[in-house]
A and B are shown apart, each in its own frame.
Chain A
Amino acid sequence: MMDSKRRNFLKSAAMAAAGSMVAGNTGLPVVQADEGVSDLPDADGLSWNKAPCRFCGTGCHVQVGVEDGRVVAVAGDKAADVNKGLLCVKGYHVGGILYGKDRLTKPLLRKDGQLTEIEWDEAIEIIAKRIFDSPDTFAFYGSGQWTIPEGYAAQKFMKGGLGNNHIDPNARLCMASAVTGFLATYGVDEPAGCYQDLDECNVLITWGNNPAEMHPVLFSRVTDRRSRGENIRIIDIGTRRTRTTDAANDYLEMKPHGDVAISLGIMHLLIENDNYDKSFVEKHCNFRGAEEVTPTLQGEQISEDEFRKRIAKYTPEYVEELSGVAADDIRMLADLFGNRDIRITSLWCMGMNQHTMGTAVNSLVHGVHLLSGHFGRPGDSPTSLTGQPSACGTVREVGTLAHALPGGRVVAKPEHRQQCEGFWNLKPGSINEVPGYHTVKMFDQFTKSTDDGGDITTLLVQVTNPGQTLPNLNALFNDKKSLEDKFLIVSDVYPTATTALADLILPAAMWVEKNGMFGNSERRTQQWFKMVDPPGEARDDTWMTIAIAHKLFEMGYQGMKDKDGEFIFAVKDEDGKEIPVWEFDRYYDTNVDKHLFEEYRQFTTMKHKNLAPYDEYVKARGLRWPVVEQEDGSWRETRFRFSAFDDPFVKEGQEFDFYHSSSSDGRAQIWFHEYAPPPEMPDDEYPMWLCTGRVLEHWHTGTMTRRLAPLNRAMPTAYVEMHMEDAKAANIRQGEVVTIQSRRGVCELPVWVDGRGRPPRGTVFVPFFDETKLINNVTLEAHDPFSKQPDYKKCAVRVVKKTAAKVSS
């Protein structure tokens, strides 16, 4: 007979196991209809329409199934070149983001600490009055999730209407170093290649990048080639093992900042082995280094000999010492780049951008590709990925940054200001020449009291959640709470960490509740139409901007009038009669997006980022700029910029032409930057590296994905990934809640030992999606000198058991 004691144990274990499946999250309740929904969908009257996915910068197209005014299904769009009918787990469930029960549906004003419902008219008036009273201390914080017309309207309102350059987007935290890297190298922003490179490369190198989780549709475009029998070598260079590592042939584990040394090491060997592409370099490249006294993005030209001299010390052995990657592996990489018969594509995203040497490392990796000639042929491409759906389209192209103007222009250049004043029909001198505050500075000034020189008093935030995403929240955001005279206005769809401190909350329409346009990572501009009504009184962000502008216009604010005294956002019908689009019930009398886009399109030809007319985008699943009209009247997109075989702007007779070269000679710049250590390194007091990032199931701050049942069940909480030995040494158990402490703040998180990602000893990783566990209380605000982008990927922390933390405090 079975030992009865053991049997009882087994029975209780079995009961615990079964019970956990009942009480836990594995139960999938049958979808219950809300009381508001009288008719359940039955596929009768179902209609499908195209839209780009709301989430990342990949830019997949989805087919949205709408029935009785509600989104009921989503499918991958088979006609879309980006995703060819596939999506990721977020994309398949994107329809649900509209239907969280706590959607904001009414403007809310904080009165005596209490949020009270108010009418839209009152809300717009409050905002307009604050701006009217003090236009220079107003700032607008936007987003790479702004649609192109939203960003364009905000840009024109601020820089044209108010003559105020304090407009910056969250993409400053995400893409700024990629921008400066492109500008420093090619003289013009955005990638030369496109996703076709992924179909043609023989070697894929991921630099501090985990596309298997963050850009899964692009990554499986490569791994699916492999399962069809093609031979592709994937080399993962990273600071921790990830799902990308699982698919990689080689994993090179580097120390934080090792990427700088590795790229220098590859260039050193290419020169030493004399197998760099001499003809390409001779015809198409210059060498460039930073100025000694005040380094600028422009840098100064150096000779090839000088370049050789400076790079000489980056021998494989020295690089091994700096990066932790074995000298032989550096040689392996250099040999690959030295082989012109293979095609190499590099992929990177936040690992190289959220970096205090972000501009430098972006430039260096471009330099590796240029020096080796692995550039400009399909499959040979340095490819920077974006994290937001329109970081390229809205932020980089419309230029919603503190120093920029639309179409690659900058406020500092008089001729650029004049051109914009011309397009906008403004009085000369309307645009301010001094760049405004970049993100970190903007929030620093907003959360500092006016007496201490905090000269931003009113801040309008649209389509983003800085209360969760800014670094070092205790320094840059949380102080708002105690500042009575600072006024925070937040337009959002759900309550967030940012609305928690807002004085005025504006309920916004999202995604297919409004018309929109996005621009993805491969220069592809995408369009969609409104398909369903927003809930309650939620309204379009573009409308909010226009309504505020019109209220100022009514109050007599001069900047809201153009040279001829007309409202700067005037939209006229065919008979020349003005349509009052600032009244929301008249907003959809016309397609405001189309009016704004056609106006914006004029700006795009200067930097050869030509866009097609709006109606062309209605027909297409996005088009990659430059889109040029053909003789037969059709519009042709461009896949490979600067390469004669595809780019219509390359000079006749040239194989490659960098026609916006910063040296004005059609050449790209190969940069040298000296390695520098990270600003904060682990020490006795804070002995661990902290890296932050994302997970497959959640997108950014999780305000959308954490309201989707299948995704939130799959990843219900943020956690800290830890190496087994580190956990053992600190006597920390699986799942135990610990405190992560840095010099700036603390965050409590459950431990996942050897979790989905596996950091090496001495490193911990925390995803930032969970608004109940704000890891950005811990991160560092140190940033790149050129791009002003903070480094979220490395700072020093300690992991403390909670019991011990209580004793010590």
Chain B
Amino acid sequence: MKIFERSVWSLITAFFAIFLIIVYVGSSIAMQYGAYINSALGIQLFQQIDNPNSDEDTEYYKSDYYYDDGAYNDAAMRANSNDVAERTASESTVLLWNNDDALPLAKDSKIGFFGIASQRYIYTGTGSGYLSYSGDKTIKDAVEAKGIDVYDTLWAGYTFLSGEYGYSLIGASASGVNDRNYGEYGINEAPWSAIEKVDNSYFAGAMLKNYSAYEDAAVMVISRNGGEDYDTNFAPNGDDRNLDGDYLDLSEQENDVLTNLTRLKAEGHIKKVVLLINSATPLQLMNIAKLDIDACLWVGMGGNKAPEQIANVLVGDTDGGVTPSGHLVDTWAYDISSAPANANFGDHTFTSSTGLPEVYTYTHNNKYLVYQEGIYVGYRYYETRYEDAVLGMGGADSAAGAYASEGNWDYREEVAYTFGHGESYTDFEFSNYKVTRNADGDYEVSVDVKNVGDTYSGKEVLQVYIQKPYTGYDKDNGIEKSAVELVGFEKSDSLAPGASQTLKTVVDDYEFKTYDAYGKGTYILEKGDYYLACGTSAHNALNNILANKKADGVRLNESLMDEAGNADLAEKITISNNDFEIFKTSPYTGAEVGNLFSNADINLYKGTKDQKIEYLSRENWQTTYPSSAVSMSCLNATMVADMQYYTGIKEDPEAEMPKYETVSEEYGQLNLVMLMEFGYDDPIWDALMDQTTYAEQTYLVTYGAHVLAGAESVNAPGGLSQNGPSGLNQANPVLKSCMVFPCQVNMAATWNKELIEELGEAFGMEMMHAGYEGLNGPGANIHRSAHSGRNWEYYSEDGFISGEMLSAETTGMMRYGAILYIKHMLLNDEERNRYGVSIWANEQSIREIYAKAFEKACAVTGLNGIMSSFNRIGCIWAGRHKGLLNDLLRVEWGFEGAVQSDAAVGRHMGVANDEATNAAIMAEALLAGQDFWLWGGSKTILDGYKDNATVACALREAARRMLYTQLHSTAMNGVGTDTVIIQITPWWESVLNVLKIVAPILVGVSGAMTVVSFVLPVVLKKKQGAQADGNE
């Protein structure tokens, strides 16, 4: 009876008992992460059954590229993407300087490429948006294709070196930082000695000795990376140090190579040294400027067509290339630390706190950040301070904030290249500047631009800036005014030498408003002198305004000016009276505009009434320039209470329980597709929602990890989404590769809205052909600091151009049925501690800088998606901030799309806590305007609120927005009025269900056998005993 070995059965039973527990616990976890699993396994949860006899045209969004048989022509589609990507990358390139017309290179020039980055080039930043290069050329290939002779031996030398040198990712522990959501980059440039070593080892010293044969130019490429979780405010160490202890300055090795190249130039071996900066974010130029570099091109991160971009701009338009016409969308300073945001960037912990929720990996409850610089971000700071210095106001020329200046603050020593700067191979002349007010009250601005060069064609940009008066009312009410703000731009066609074009743009009179948070609590129009000026940059426009003021008799300290300015390119507009009513209502919806972010302003929030700060003010630069970080504690009872993950539902007494599973008598059985022509507010939507179930609505809200839930009751098909923003992070199924477009900074640097809309169309078709309608991107946060790791995913330091470019790109993409979850609303302008960090900013800066980037796309373009950010706004998670998601986004702007959370990993977002806590957070977030979570999916998590009319109504509204968004996307392609959508059970779920039956059986059987194994010997023994007794 060996089979009844009791120890064996006991062990087997124990084994299966553990198995049983794991199966049950595991299935519960797996169901929560179902969307991730389905996404990873490529399972479409909602499948459609079509009517084979239907002849409906169900392709609501069509591609431009088909074969004759109706199948997508992926190759032609990709060729179009490549074409627009190359034009964008080329047109975005900014010629920072070009001494003695060092560029373009003549055809048949002989050049050499230096810098490890020439072979370890960075095409996109890192993080969820990262895409690997899938182009087919090296920089050398592309440049040679333009007729330039590239030094092969040197290239081969760098190929050897690229095995050992080049950028690298350095994790938190290697960086010595106790935060796993942290990282740094290595530069690892090959020093001159390494080049010589390779030369001696492989080329017998001939590589450098023979360099003179390629004397036309030495082109040095340097790269800087950036990305999710990886800000760039660190000092590389070890053998990879930077000259100023800043990653965004030259490394010692880069400086070594460049110094040797300039030495070779001085010795006559090289005619010119050209620098290519492969970085989305600005570098600080204090050390680069010391070197005798003839020309410098900012090339950004050009994606797949970066090699062609470089080749095009190096040769210029006369040799089949392109004249650079990009203009900076960020200020380039000599010392990045001079930006006033710098003091309050990075890692800041409450000095003391009590009662805060516990800190976890993805929940930084004890961290904060104060935007003490207010509106003075980027050029708004430098240019405003410049004007005040010239006008002798506010102590602008004091020592405070002087980083690169020899003595007191001097613009010329602080700013290397201003916002909007960009040189060309040709020259342009502006004339006939006109500003006229049209019937709508808007200002039509026009100027004639003429190419006055004699060789090269090129494009120029009309940049229009406004200056609003800085008044006594402003000083009394804590309002700040930037000396210049971009309010309009237009790019010219390519103008041949001698050709001219009249460029026009319209400046909305709404741009004359100012947000008055402390006084009227709304937008106001103040009396005083306004200026609309054009210029080749923000600085040039400001000088034109100053020239205009001078003509009016204003005294200027011209010794501080770097150019005289042209008074004719600035128009003064005088507003005679204050008008505190005119902008009190939203032009988009008519809703009243009022303070929504008082709980994020340290000076207004009652939980920080004992911690008031002074924001940077032009009234007194010296005393208000942030010299150190704001110190904050979290002890106040109100603040501590608000920092909790939820505070309790505020019941709406008027809320009525919605209907479920009810077919409307008026409309009959409805399918989602039938509502294609109906607006969001049409009553038919109520009838559709009445058909859905509570579980379906919950699933629509929770099932969001790169997938969208559908709903059987209304035949909604669901869909798929993927990461962006430089391309869809999903290979085209036929081409087996991803398209990598230029990064968003490059897009903005084109200053060409039409081109970016075209890029958006190509991007939309890439998504359509890949079968994805949702994209997590583009991004629209602000380059508050050059050190923000994710700058490559956002357009600019300026909210206006960010908004214009976002609007253009998304218009193109949505034309092809894409749903775009714009990252990350709001104030997610640095990576460190982004999971739950509390961000403090005043309402004027929130509205005029940070929200501005999202405004046009949401309010005018009809954007269909937003991604709420990880951080808190004040104490409240952005996804639970009603002022942001409901009052601003929907009430003021009229946004009708869906709001998705960022990856639901933080406890403050309603995950990883106990289920009741998660549900409470989610319920409050739904009431605030959050629609769905980038999470795994649960049909039951909100069951506790089934009878709560307030939450049920909010859930229904979120589900409605989800369905509305889905309806107007490629998700509906192929879905006809008689298509039936069914929700399938994925195979892994079936396996788990089977295991949930099999495991108890196995435990039962093995348990029974164990019992038998224990009982049987006793019985047998008794039996044998009885037999023995009988025998006796």
Query: Do A and B share a complex?
Result: no
Point out residues on B near A: beta carbons under 8 Å: none
